[in-house]
Chain A
């Protein structure tokens, strides 16, 4: 044990304060220090040199120092590769679809679509495709129709087909061609089965469709009608031993040919 004197008192007190002297030696030194009033005051002064944090200091704002961390989800490499592959394929499919849609959308007209009004039906008209005096696409048998006025009525028990003037020959019109409507006087003898309730109108509307420089005949009408429907196609029936009926039907136009055997 070191003897305490004025020369080493500061060193001993410093070691006591720093905890370098422990155990029984510490207790004995402290007893000796407390025994002397001057050393005791000195020891108290040394003890006051221990600093303590200021509690009244405004705390530091920690928020600016922190970093926002992103949550990391571990994923297996194979799963990641498979997911990337699926996404790539899906993206490619979507891109292809969107490309076709785009081309389709490009064909759409820009602006407001024009409204086409259909011609109004004649009041009291017979229920036929002959909707308007300007219509020309009608079946051959219904080519000629009486436009019923209020003074013409068809019996209910008889089909309208029976009221057609069967005796009327096919109307042959010389030029001018492409005449659509011709007013003709209906001969009384040609429609004996019609029972008019009221006086028969003296005029009927006849729709005629002709090919240029050709006669209007049944065959011509058939060809013309078929052409209108099929866009200029022709129909032929030829022999074919390979079919059950030994016949085959050929429908053709400039581009396509359809052969049907039965």
Chain B
């Protein structure tokens, strides 16, 4: 990868990477730091990474950094209680906010794979490469994640 391609990859993938990490951590500053670290790693490995594969490389690196950070700090994101109460009390809760709250309830790996699947459009193999899982595992995690979200949505609808 050339320096010019590096800057191009920033334009193409930085926002998506930030969105992915931000959705997982739910803390903007931490997400920005991980994205920054990830692109610094890409800069250091400029000669090793091909431009065509840099997106996968970026998400893989960012995901690992995120997992490392979570494990190191044991900083599992929990939705604030007030936010949960707000969702229950809302007369016409927005579907997106309900879904966001449901996403935060997912286990970390399920959250990651479903976001890679839906936000970035990766197939099972690519998600497996990023997360270090095989395709069957990825499929199972995605299924469980969607099932959890579906159940949450159905339960909310029943409450409303």
Interface, chain A (partner B; CB < 8 A): 10-11, 14, 17-18, 42, 45-46, 48-54, 57-60, 62, 64-67, 69
Contacts and interface: CB of A to CB of B under 8 A. Distances in A.
Nearest to B19: A53
Contacts, number: 71
B142 A51 contact: no
A201 B54 CA distance: 114
Interface in B107-148: 114-115, 118-119, 142-143, 145-147
Interface residues of B, number: 37
B15 A51 contact: no
Contact of B7 (A59, A60, A69): A69
B12 to A, nearest CB: 10
Contacts of A54: 19, 23, 96, 100
Nearest to A61: B32
A62 B11 contact: yes
Contacts of B118: 50-52
Interface stretch (B65-73, B74-82, B149-157): B149-157
Given A10-B147, A48-B153, A67 B19 contact: no
A54 to B, nearest CB: 7
A130 to B, nearest CB: 85
A108 to B, nearest CB: 53
A17 B153 CA distance: 16
Given A57-B19, A59-B15, A62-B14, 4 more contacts: A46-B150, A54-B96, A65-B10, A69-B7
B6 interface: yes
Interface of A is mostly: loop
A143 B107 CA distance: 124
Interface-centre pick from A18, A49, A64 (highest chain B CB count, 10 A): A49
B95 interface: yes
Contact of B149 (A18, A49, A53, A58): A49
B36 interface: yes
A63 B76 CA distance: 30
Contact of B114 (A45, A51, A59, A69): A51
Contacts of B22: 57
Nearest to A15: B143
10 contacts: A42-B154, A45-B150, A45-B157, A48-B153, A53-B119, A60-B32, A60-B35, A65-B14, A67-B7, A69-B7
